[in-house]
Structure 1
Amino acid sequence: MIVFRYLSREVLVTLSAMSAVLLVIIMSGRFIKYLAQAAQGLLDPGVLFMIMAFRLPGFLQLILPLGLFLGILMAYGRLYLDSEMTVLSATGMSQQRLLVYTMAPALLVALLVAWLSMGLAPQGVAQVASILNQQDALTEFDTLVPGRFQAMRDGSRVTYTKELSADRAELADIFISEKRFSRTGDKERGITVLVAESGRQEIQADGSRYLILQNGYRYDGNPGQADYRAIQYDTYGVLLPKPSVSSEISEREAVTTAELIGSDNPRFQSELQWRLSLPLLVFIVTLLAVPLSRVNPRQGRFLKLLPAILLYMTYLALLIAARSALDKGRIPQALGLWWVHGVFLLIGLVLLYWEPLRLKWASRRAGSEVAHA
């Protein structure tokens, strides 16, 4: 029992450290993406941390299996280097028994991943989709930041205001530059520049919003050419476009697991198999990690780390490819993603029993040579 607690503690501590590092790396990259959208005026900066909080379960369901895999490699690799595993092996600790001990923390991780993948992650995705839909309903006026040039419509429109009232109803010193395209939208016809001393927002009966500019000029023409047209106006109305917030979230990711179970939709069935695959992934990577963590003290603990990571990435890549093929109907639903798990389960068993069988065969061969001599 003491050995069991010691091994479990080593694995869980290393798992926590590796998962924390991976989580920071992944969330930092995603946060930078959302921050860039906020800087462009596509997102309200106030919802950034809320979005990241709701995306956290989705990140963790993928990070924890990898964290456990790396945790076992690093923790047991250190024990091999410090000859602690040699001592344990001398007292009867076989690879099979070590695997049984390791399955206890793996069970905890699998239960947590199952809770995340089947419950929390879909709820979080649904909340993020709701937030992004609300942001998508905002107009350029709602996301405008005073003193900053903001690109809208994929950069074809740039808006600037020097001052903006607290209730976002009045603007001062306005500049708007917009590219003009042909009716087909495939040919640029020049640019239109609007400047005005002040402006206000007006909401029409159909819900559309206009920016009413006052006391300004409109310039139409092509850069580098002298055929500009200038128009002075007292009042000018500009339709406010709705910014489009890019999202990598698919609709099925927000569907509850209960709805997936009762659905005949192939995409929903592949999503269900994906969610079930994540907890199963935990046990199989544990089976892979235990024999891969065995290292020779003279070789160093990182000798097998790169091949092990490549093996894990191959496993995950095949799952993603099989999921895509399942969506397109190239793989029968009965076969689904399970064949990928079966392949790596077989690889794990080969790695686990290869060394004992090799030693047994070598012992028999040596005994046979001695007998012949």
Structure 2
Amino acid sequence: MRRFERALTREMAAGAALGFAALVAIFSVVILVRILSKAVVGDIDVSAIMPMLGFGVLRTLPVLLSLGLFIGVFMSLSRLWRDSEAVIWMNAGVGPFGWLRPVVMLILPVVAIIAFVSLEGLAWGARKQTEFEQVLATKNQVSALAPGVFSEDRQGKRVVFVEKVFQNGSRVENVFVQSFERGRMGVTVASQGLVKKMTNGAVFLVLEDGKRYEGIPGEADYQMARFKRYSVRIPAPALVERGETSRSMEAADLIRNPSPANMGEWVWRLGYPISAFLLCLLAVPLSYTNPRAGRSLNVVFAVLIFVAYNNFVGISKGWVERSLLGSVESLLLVHGVMLSILIAMFWRRFRGPWSA
């Protein structure tokens, strides 16, 4: 590899790495804020914050890799024009097509990573997230007995309060339970109790040495009973049984089951590596800047093209899912348009400032 290619490859790689790191940091903060807002109101357990953050970053990884790579290539080539190095290299016999080799050599390994993540990694992450949410929901069934907190079930028919929790949540002290069933309100108090998990997964709060009061609110008629042991079932969380969706299916399974939804998912996943490759090639003619003029317009144009292209890929997924286009037609339309723009810009730049 010539000296020019080595220097350009190093500069583009450094720019891409910095851009990717900055994007990951920004998106991680955004995702973390959303997760924390749910954790504050109790929708997400504190122990689930970091795993959910990991799943969120994984979902955005193909876009972040693509955008980071595009930034590295575009900014490095723009600097060559801004500092007039491009003119020097052209006078030395290195024209615009000589820039393609280092660009392609840099982006091919990253595009391969993007392809693997989008075709297989996203589906794996979706399956693992579903499994994690199911395990977390079952865990929350037991951990809902927090000391000093009134815990209400989702139906609002039962409130449980425990003053103290011991032995990793297996024993409790000073328990208060209020329930409302069939028009009658029951109040149960006990000095102590224990949490038992049955073999079938059911969880019971077994109260010891307590009293139970039951009656109709507003009426004087009520019943009181003492007990040595009294079991209260902790209601299981509402687990939604999710069948395998297109989002969680492997790429090979999508092709073997070519429904509109599966083909839409396939077009969307395949669009990530294709768009990353074409956008980085487009950065070569797009990076041209007249040293006497500002470069703001080129930067804005580059951002608009990246956003529009990725949105177009997402829109094409909806077209395929609604059977408005076939998967092949959608791929040819979306990426064919971008390829045409790429060829047109190369031709325009080659006939213009690069003709020297």
Bin for the TM-score computed over the shorter chain? 0.7 to 0.9
Tell me what 2:340 maps to. 346
The separation in 1 between residues aligned to 2:198 and 2:301, in whole angstroms, is 63
Gaps of 5+ in 2: none
CA contact (8 A) 2:158 2:177 kept: yes
* Matched length: 350
Gaps of 5+ in 1: 184-188, 364-373
Partner residue of 1:254 out of 245, 248, 253: 248
For 1:321, what is the secondary structure of its paired residue? helix
- 1:70 matched to 2:71? The reply is yes
Structural mapping, 1:230-249, within 5 Å: 239-243=233-237
Partner residue of 1:267 out of 256, 261, 276: 261
Change (3 A) 1:204 1:172: same
Change (3 A) 1:193 1:340: farther
Deviation at 1:174, TM superposition (A): 5.1
The separation in 2 between residues aligned to 1:354 and 1:220, in whole angstroms, is 85
C-alpha distance after superposition, 1:85-139 (max 9, x if no partner) = 2222222333333234312211121111122223333323322222112123335
The separation in 1 between residues aligned to 2:247 and 2:88, in whole angstroms, is 48
Deviation at 1:197, TM superposition (A): 5.5
- What amino acid is aligned across from residue 318 of structure 2 in structure 1? S
Tell me what 1:337 maps to. 331
- 1:323 matched to 2:317? The reply is yes
The farther-off stretch of 191-200 and 156-165 is 191-200
Partner residue of 1:314 out of 304, 308, 312: 308
Deviation at 1:64, TM superposition (A): 0.7
The separation in 2 between residues aligned to 1:354 and 1:228, in whole angstroms, is 91
CA contact (8 A) 2:145 2:151 kept: yes
Tell me what 1:49 maps to. 50
CA contact (8 A) 2:165 2:173 kept: yes
Deviation at 1:38, TM superposition (A): 4.7
Tell me what 1:170 maps to. 171
Q: State the superposition RMSD in angstroms.
A: 4.1
CA contact (8 A) 1:41 1:143 kept: no
Tell me what 1:126 maps to. 127
Deviation at 1:218, TM superposition (A): 8.4
The separation in 2 between residues aligned to 1:260 and 1:318, in whole angstroms, is 21
C-alpha distance after superposition, 1:159-211 (max 9, x if no partner) = 65442223312333556789x89x9xxxxx9x999877555435578654344
Q: TM-score, normalising length from structure 1?
A: 0.76
Structural mapping, 1:2-17, within 5 Å: 2-17=3-18
Change (3 A) 1:169 1:291: same
Tell me what 1:293 maps to. 287
- What amino acid is aligned across from residue 113 of structure 2 in structure 1? L
- What amino acid is aligned across from residue 241 of structure 1 in structure 2? P
Change (3 A) 1:155 1:59: farther
The farther-off stretch of 336-345 and 136-145 is 136-145
Q: TM-score, normalising length from structure 2?
A: 0.79
The separation in 2 between residues aligned to 1:84 and 1:69, in whole angstroms, is 20
